Structure 1
Amino acid sequence: MSTTSALPRQPRRLGPRGAAWFDRGLALGLTGLSVLSGVAAGSLAWIGLGLLQCAPLWWRRRFPVAVYAAVAAASALQVLVLDMPVFSQLAYPVAVYSVARYTSTVPGALALVVGLVAAATAAVDWTSPYVPPNDHPLQQVVSYATTIGVIVLAAWALGTLGRTRAAYVDALRTHAEQVAREAEQRAELAASDERARIAREMHDVVAHGLSVMVVQADGARYAAAKDPDVATTALGAIAATGRESLGEMRRLLGLLRSEETGTRPQPGLDDLAGLLEQARADGLPLTVRLPDPLPAVPTGTGLVVYRVLQEALTNVRRHAGPVRDVEVVVDAEPGGLVVRVTDDGRGAAAGSSGSSGSSGAGGSGRAGGGLGLVGMRERVRAAGGTLATGPRGGGGFEVVARVPV
């Protein structure tokens, strides 16, 4: 998933180049009109003030405080030079807007306060030529000051609103980017978990298939000299097991390559009978007790029970040595299933060659370089259950898994 495609459309704004050209046009336009008005009035003061007040707007986005200071200083100079409003004073509210828009709250507030004081000062300056010195035209001064103050206040309010809106939009965009990144990370973690699950499935398939083939090959080798028919049957079982294991491994590798779900259903409780029949055909002396009928359980629970039983039987073939009886029990208890696989083989004496992993509660596991017990424990733990493995007191080995439903 692309982060850019997941984000909401950003409000239309001028780009850096467009903003620069806008500021240049604004500065040149106001300066040009101020100079023309000064030429029309025949006043060099108007022309000079037009240049001093309007030209700094060229840099109003890059240096808003400095531009405001320059415009405010030129406006203060106007009080000393002229006693009437001029066209170039339009630069002052633009400068106030720029400070409020492109800086923080404090510079904007200071510009507003200075602007309101300047409004009162300008009102007194502009009305004084028309009123005798001893009169106090408070009403006229207040009217002028209010008008100018409203213009300054509006410029400050628009700038502040623009700044807060831009900050809000940026915060929304940052949040959307964060949400998109988190979604991508969750998807990657889910894919990683799925690959790990497929890798465990592949380990179970390969280990089971190879153990069956080794047992059949040993039997065929011993029987070849005495009974060729038995050897032929064993070789056929080896070939069938190899083809089935290769097909299953190709399917799992295809999942890893395509990152799609397989079309073949995962094994469950209904497949236990076939697994046990195959174990009997491989020569394991099984005593089996399954619930009749098999309980209806979720697909994930059935898969965990199947894989635990498959791995336990594989460990018996590989590590138990000669066995007289292997007992397989699946019991349905309130709230879950219990899987118990016990054998009367070498038990703890197989510690140097068995699958790796600790026992969990109840004993020490068969240690070694494999991943059988570790894989079983991970599966059962992921399903919320418990696994206990270890040697039996009277000899042999036991695997007990409790899987909640």
Structure 2
Amino acid sequence: MDPLHAPRQPWRLDERGRRWFDRALVAVLLLPVPLMALSGVSGRSVTFTVLELVPLLWRRSHPVAVFAAVAGASALQAGFVDLPVWGQAAFPIATYSVARYAGVLASWVALGVGLCGAWVATWAWLAPFPEDSRSGMVSYVVTISVIVLAAWALGTLGRTRQAYVAALVERGERIEHEAAQRVALAATEERTRIAREMHDVVAHGLSVIVVQADGARYAAEHDPAVATRTLETVAATGREALTEMRRLLGLLRTDGATGTRPQPHLDDIAVLVAEAQEHAASAGDGTRIEARLPEPGVRVPPGIALTAYRVVQEALTNVRKHAGPGATVRVEVRLGSDVEVVVEDDGRGAASPDDGLGLGLVGMRERVLIHDGELCAGPRPGGGFRVSARLPL
């Protein structure tokens, strides 16, 4: 995804920022305290205001203890001060903090204490007034209860969201770990397949060497010139087989069973294309496959031919899996100073979800790299998918 168009992540404070935010919050809430003292507010009101506000400095790290301190100071205040004080703004903040940063049980207890405190506070504030003037008691209780409920609900929503995000992060990490394991497994399976195919490369070279060596031994007695040419062929074949074996051994890490299947050549790519066209015709999905291939009989090193064959094979397999119906596929193999392989389609493969099985690209890239080549695979401009490889000769 383009970073310029990626969804913006919500801004969050780090640990240091949260500490400074709480300090600033308490400092702002304490600003009216000097004015209260200068305006003649009772010393008890000022004292309880400070006792209720200062514990908010630790509301994140010790939410239950802070709520207990604020609730205790509020309860004591009801016995000494018969009017609301500024410090009671700390109660909904403490309630929010318990619901946000403590457990479920603690948040429910805080809610119960807050609702009970609404009745106690209302009674304490209205008790000094005549009984006929207490008609507003219900409205006081409802107002305070709504404030407590709102603070508790916001804190609970924040805690629930944090738990949900944490679960998503854990799930993402688990999926990433499983994907890494699948990639490693795919690489192992691909190396095992290379081990089987190495038998074809080496066995072909050794077979030629043995036959030519036997012929040279018999020809040496009658025609030394023939023996010389034969030995030159033996040397060239041995060097070529040794080079291919070294390249393949650079990838192998496990032993695998050898096979006896003939090694594919460039001419076999035409068979791959024909099979893909036949499969598309039988499926009736409207897929069209066009090919532009070199003339039959062109000789290239066996390892290069095998790699080009596997690139086309895997690319056509991915087309069948992901391109969808009605796609047009172009297969092109060009020969020059390099062997260039291009397989592209205009289907929906670039938008298909990754089912974790399209890991053949890992094997393709490893095959191309051991021949000092380049592989590019990705979405095409305008839709579809493109795989291109360049293999130096």
Instruction: Determine if the TM-score, normalized by the shorter chain, exceeds 0.5.
Output: yes
| 2:140 is the alignment partner of 1:140 | no
* 1:180 equivalent in alignment to 2:176: yes
- Where does 1:252-263 land on structure 2 (aligned, <5 Å)? 252=248
1:189, CA displacement in angstroms?
2.5
Q: Tell me, what secondary structure is at the counterpart of 1:83?
A: coil
Q: Tell me, which stretches of 5 or more residues in structure 2 are unaligned?
A: 1-5, 253-262, 278-393
In the other structure, the counterpart of 1:82 is 81
What is the TM-score with the length of structure 2 in the denominator?
Answer: 0.59
The 3 A distance-change label for structure 1 pair 146 and 244 is same
Relative to structure 1, the CA distance from residue 269 to residue 29 in structure 2 (aligned partners, 3 Å threshold; closer, same or farther) is closer
Q: 1:254 to 1:8 in 2, by over 3 A?
A: farther
Does the aligned pair in 2 maintain the 1:38–1:46 contact within 8 Å? no
In structure 2, relative to structure 1, the CA distance for the partners of 1:182 and 1:294 (3 Å cut) is: closer
Give the unaligned 5+ runs of structure 1.
1-6, 257-265, 272-292, 300-405
Secondary structure of 2:83 counterpart: coil
The correspondence for 1:154, drawn from 131, 150, 154, is 150
When residues 295 and 86 of structure 1 are mapped into structure 2, their CA distance, relative to the original with a 3 A threshold, is closer
Task: Assess, with a 3 A threshold, how the Cα gap between structure 1 residues 237 and 106 changes in structure 2: closer, same or farther.
Answer: same
1:241–1:13 distance in 2 versus 1, CA, 3 Å: same
Give CA deviations for 1:286-310 in whole Å, capped at 9, x if unaligned.
xxxxxxx9996579xxxxxxxxxxx
The corresponding residue for 1:99 is: 98
For the aligned residue pairs, the C-alpha RMSD in angstroms reads 3.2
Residue 224 of structure 1 deviates from its aligned partner by 1.6
1:183 and 1:228 map into 2 onto residues whose CA distance is 62
Q: Which residue of 2 aligns with 1:192?
A: 188
Whether the 8 Å CA contact 1:269–1:294 is kept in 2: the answer is no
Take 1:63 and 1:35, find their aligned partners in 2: how far apart are those partners?
A: 28
Pick one of 231, 234, 238 that aligns with 1:238: 234
1:28 — aligned with what?
27
- Contact residue 83 and residue 129 of structure 1 kept, 8 A: yes
Letter in 1 for 2:190: E
Q: For the structure 1 residues 229 and 297, does the alpha-carbon distance in structure 2 shift closer, same or farther, using more than 3 Å as the test?
A: farther
Give the equivalent residue in structure 2 for 1:338.
none
Distance 1:38 1:71 in 2: 21
Report the CA distance shift for 1:117/1:38 in structure 2 as closer, same or farther (over 3 A): farther
| SS state at 1:202 partner | helix
Q: CA deviation at 1:233?
A: 4.7
Question: What is the aligned partner in structure 1 of residue 15 from structure 2?
Answer: 16
Identity, % of aligned positions: 58
Tell me if structure 2 keeps the 8 A contact 1:202–1:249. Answer: yes
Amino acid paired to 2:264 = P
Paired residues, number: 261
Deviation of the 1:30 alpha carbon:
1.6
TM-score, structure 1 as length reference:
0.57
Displacement over 3 Å in runs of 4+ = 7-10, 246-256, 268-271, 293-299
Look at both structures and tell me which one has the larger radius of gyration over its CA atoms: 1
Displacement of 1:160 in angstroms is 0.3
Q: Distance in 1 between matches of 2:149 and 2:207?
A: 86
In 2 relative to 1, CA 12–178 (structure 1 residues): closer, same or farther, beyond 3 Å?
farther
Relative distance call for 1:75 and 1:215 in structure 2 (3 A) is same
The whole-number CA distance in structure 1 between the counterparts of 2:226 and 2:232 is 10
**How far, CA to CA, are the matches of 1:269 and 1:73 in structure 2?**
86
Q: How many Å apart are 1:184 and its aligned residue?
A: 2.9
Which letter maps to 1:212?
V
Residue 113 (structure 2) pairs with residue 126 (structure 1)? no
